[in-house]
Structure 1
Amino acid sequence: MKSAFLDKLMERLDRMDPGSLQTHFLRLAREKGLLETIFRAVREGIIVLDGRGRITYANRAAEQMLGFQADAAAGQPIHRFLREIDWDRLLELDAEEWSRLVAREIEISYPERRFLDFYVVPLAAVADAERGAVVLLRDVTRDREHEARAVESERLNVLTLLAAGVAHEIGNPLNSLNIHLQLIERELDEVPPEQRKNLVELVGVSRREVARLDGILTQFLRALRPNPPNLAPGSVAEVLRETLEFLQHEIRDRDVLVEVEAPDALPEIPLDADQIKQAFFNLIRNAIQAMPGGGLLEIILRETDRFVEIAFRDHGPGIPSGELNRLFEPYHTTRPKGSGLGLAIVQRIVRDHGGQIEVHSEPGAGTTFTLLLPRSGRRLRLLKAPPPEDRVQPAGGAP
């Protein structure tokens, strides 16, 4: 884009004395420096392309969004960094089509998953130079996340209303059934012995099924209407230790080896120990069940500037990519006997603590769930690691 000043300068260039020429070039340099300062400061990504789609300029925001260095990318075709756009098609547009603004939203996965509003603004050709373009990028990832959370919140509100009806319509009859089954058990003492054994077994099966349904109902209500967390400074490492201790028999019976990797000190963070223990319990049980033949469960604790991170990594079959977006939906499960509520409970607990939960899975290589819990500045020494004989070993392992 040419300015009136630049047009006049080009017309008078042959008639200028060296002093005037120097003055004008200094003015151009100052204007160029001002523009570069502005471009570096704006949050939108700006990329200038030549007529062949090669990068001639990129600002700092574009570098961060697309994961490259402007100096190294100069002269490189833009499709190396933005594969989601058909650049060959764009560069073949005729003059009329090229004069229109091209705009769309794209999703990229490198250097991290982002949603970008993408604009291509055509640049008019100057003299014999090829026409070029300016690519404008705006990161709308947070907007999309807020929209997704709003949709999820609305869905959970609807399910919460449903839960109230479920509690009334199913919970009360279940209690009644359980009471009457207890009364029947008492009456069985009057039944002849040859009939009693079979009836006792049938009543026992009925009571167990009633208890199972009551447990599902309780989990459902807990997932949708949990108590607000009672936050107090606490040690994530201590909560993890207590959870592993509670599950140690199941861990050994399933032939699972648990390895915990943690720094010597972690910050004490605000948490509800009972709720975080429930989240840990659900994730560890999921990992155990993902490895029915036994295997290794890695639990990695670390801290960043904002969070304490707890990663649970199993070495099971992994989760199909098509299932990842539905993992936290209530009642969605990939296991035949799963209730589909465990991960919904974990997500709600973590979010009520102001944290985040991330999942990464590769078919055939296992799954990693990572909890990010907001940290505080105070530090707490971890408990000393137990001696080797007290560490969780797989069944049949070394004592």
Structure 2
Amino acid sequence: MKSRFIDKLLTRLDRLDQKSLQAHFLRLVQQKGLMETIFQAVREGIILLDARGRITYANKAAVSMVGSAHETTIAGNNIAKYLRGIDWTRILDFDTSEWSKIFMHEIEIDYPSRRFLSFYVAPLEEQEGETGRGVLLMLRDTTHDREEEVSTLESERINAVKLLAAGVAHEIGNPLNALSIHLQLIDRELEQLDEHHRDSLRELLSVARKEVSRLDLIITQFLRAIRPSKPKLFPARIETLLKETLSLLKHDIQSRDIRVQINSPSDLPRIRVDRQQMKQAFFNVIKNAFQAMKDGGALTINISTLDRFLAISFVDTGPGVNAGESGRIFEPYHTTKPDGTGLGLMVVQRILQDHNGTIEFHSEPGIGTTVTLVLPFGEPQVRLLKSRTTPEDETT
């Protein structure tokens, strides 16, 4: 396709002196270089095909989308090698009326990796000396959009299941309360029996009450984990909340022979949190750490600030967990403890999300586990985020 600039240059070529001719050709080279820079910078794949379907040009994005890992260029090859299952011969033979019907299509490819691509085909003007015309092929990687769509549908499905499960849990909770009350009444009636029968029945009754209490705990933690509850935010000192939480676990600290140390800067700012929810999050994390250190150990709580974020790290000297277990640590009902519910950290995660915070988990077998809660404080600021790796970056 010839530009107006080239047409104008050709008509005036015999009237230009050498200096003017050099200036015009320099401008032409600069224009070509600019277009090449633009084509290589865009995220969309751009492929030019001649009338036979041979690739005459492909930018870096196009190569990363359809080329193999070791290919730096796909020019010179036929497009059918990369986008198989499409009748390119028929497309290249389209007439004007058929080209007017062309629109964007989406395809799925599994080479070099499984991706979804949308592409648009547009005709090019016929070139001198060639029969037929080539086409411009525009590609866009829609894999992320597809994954987002699947993720949204999955979230909607999970929310529906959660709503149903919450209703079931609530209905189970009512008879559990009745069972607990009647077990207490039976316990009182046992006083009227002789000692031999009373002791044997009381042992059975104790087992029943423990199981009812365990079911009640599971339901309570499950509802805490899935019920959205807007936190009531008030300024508070994190160190004070930690000490109040540790006072509730005083018996565990003494019976398990655990040393607890809090490291906190003296100028730590107040932070707006829901006091009860945050103490619940601290309680669950600390309780997990204590249960991991069955034979005693140390729990170090480090508080630090970075920019407008406050981090509370809980470092224990327990046995740690392997990488496989670490990847499942926030899954509901997944637990490494025989008497665990598998909901404790799920509750913590929800509380942190409600406070616009995050939870990080790192563990090394034989060394221990670190759980870090990150909370925002102060006025929000604009922060430059780390750029995401693009497919073309991975191939360079």
Does structure 1 residue 88 correspond to structure 2 residue 70? yes
* Alignment correspondent of 1:62: none
Does structure 1 residue 17 correspond to structure 2 residue 18? yes
What amino acid sits opposite 1:190 in the alignment?
Answer: Q
Deviation at 1:19, TM superposition (A): 5.4
> What does 1:95-244 correspond to in 2, within 5 Å?
95-96=77-78, 100=82, 148=151, 151-152=154-155, 154-168=157-171, 170-225=172-227, 227-244=229-246
- Checking the alignment, whether the CA contact within 8 Å between 2:117 and 2:143 is kept in structure 1 is no
- Checking the alignment, whether the CA contact within 8 Å between 1:45 and 1:58 is kept in structure 2 is no
Aligned-partner Cα distance in 2 for 1:207–1:163: 23
- Assess, with a 3 A threshold, how the Cα gap between structure 1 residues 272 and 3 changes in structure 2: closer, same or farther: farther
Taking structure 1 as the reference length, the TM-score comes to 0.62
- Assess, with a 3 A threshold, how the Cα gap between structure 1 residues 32 and 237 changes in structure 2: closer, same or farther: farther
What amino acid sits opposite 2:69 in the alignment?
Answer: W
* Alignment correspondent of 1:319: 321
* Alignment correspondent of 1:384: none
> What does 1:41-56 correspond to in 2, within 5 Å?
44=43
- Assess, with a 3 A threshold, how the Cα gap between structure 1 residues 304 and 99 changes in structure 2: closer, same or farther: farther
Deviation at 1:352, TM superposition (A): 1.4
Deviation at 1:325, TM superposition (A): 4.2
- Checking the alignment, whether the CA contact within 8 Å between 2:116 and 2:146 is kept in structure 1 is no
Aligned-partner Cα distance in 1 for 2:44–2:69: 18
- Checking the alignment, whether the CA contact within 8 Å between 1:233 and 1:268 is kept in structure 2 is yes
- Checking the alignment, whether the CA contact within 8 Å between 2:117 and 2:142 is kept in structure 1 is no
**Per the alignment, in what secondary structure is the counterpart of residue 347 of structure 1?**
helix
Q: Structure 2: any 5+ residue segments left out of the alignment?
A: 46-58, 85-107, 119-138, 381-396
- Checking the alignment, whether the CA contact within 8 Å between 1:261 and 1:301 is kept in structure 2 is yes
- Checking the alignment, whether the CA contact within 8 Å between 1:105 and 1:118 is kept in structure 2 is no
Q: Structure 1: any 5+ residue segments left out of the alignment?
A: 47-56, 60-77, 107-115, 120-135, 379-399
Deviation at 1:338, TM superposition (A): 0.9
* Alignment correspondent of 2:340: 338
> What does 1:269-280 correspond to in 2, within 5 Å?
269-280=271-282
Aligned-partner Cα distance in 2 for 1:320–1:149: 31
Aligned-partner Cα distance in 2 for 1:241–1:25: 74
**Per the alignment, in what secondary structure is the counterpart of residue 70 of structure 2?**
helix
**Per the alignment, in what secondary structure is the counterpart of residue 78 of structure 2?**
helix
Aligned-partner Cα distance in 2 for 1:279–1:260: 17
- Checking the alignment, whether the CA contact within 8 Å between 2:218 and 2:341 is kept in structure 1 is yes
What amino acid sits opposite 1:223 in the alignment?
Answer: A
Aligned-partner Cα distance in 2 for 1:355–1:338: 25
- Assess, with a 3 A threshold, how the Cα gap between structure 1 residues 105 and 31 changes in structure 2: closer, same or farther: same
- Assess, with a 3 A threshold, how the Cα gap between structure 1 residues 142 and 336 changes in structure 2: closer, same or farther: farther
Deviation at 1:153, TM superposition (A): 5.6
- Checking the alignment, whether the CA contact within 8 Å between 1:327 and 1:343 is kept in structure 2 is yes
What amino acid sits opposite 1:212 in the alignment?
Answer: R
Q: Greater Rg, structure 1 or structure 2? A: 2
What amino acid sits opposite 1:354 in the alignment?
Answer: N
- Checking the alignment, whether the CA contact within 8 Å between 1:312 and 1:368 is kept in structure 2 is yes
Deviation at 1:147, TM superposition (A): 5.8
- Checking the alignment, whether the CA contact within 8 Å between 1:259 and 1:298 is kept in structure 2 is yes
Deviation at 1:99, TM superposition (A): 7.0
Aligned-partner Cα distance in 2 for 1:366–1:312: 10
Deviation at 1:347, TM superposition (A): 1.2
* Alignment correspondent of 1:356: 358
* % same residue: 42
* Cα deviations by residue, 1:31-54 (Å, 9 ceiling, x for unpaired): 7579869988x7x599xxxxxxxx
- Assess, with a 3 A threshold, how the Cα gap between structure 1 residues 246 and 191 changes in structure 2: closer, same or farther: closer
- Checking the alignment, whether the CA contact within 8 Å between 2:308 and 2:379 is kept in structure 1 is no
**Per the alignment, in what secondary structure is the counterpart of residue 87 of structure 1?**
coil
* Alignment correspondent of 2:370: 368
Does structure 1 residue 329 correspond to structure 2 residue 331? yes
Aligned-partner Cα distance in 2 for 1:271–1:141: 34
Aligned-partner Cα distance in 1 for 2:110–2:319: 34
Aligned-partner Cα distance in 2 for 1:202–1:241: 38
Aligned-partner Cα distance in 1 for 2:240–2:142: 39
Aligned-partner Cα distance in 1 for 2:372–2:185: 48
Aligned-partner Cα distance in 2 for 1:91–1:214: 63
The size of the alignment, in residue pairs, is 325
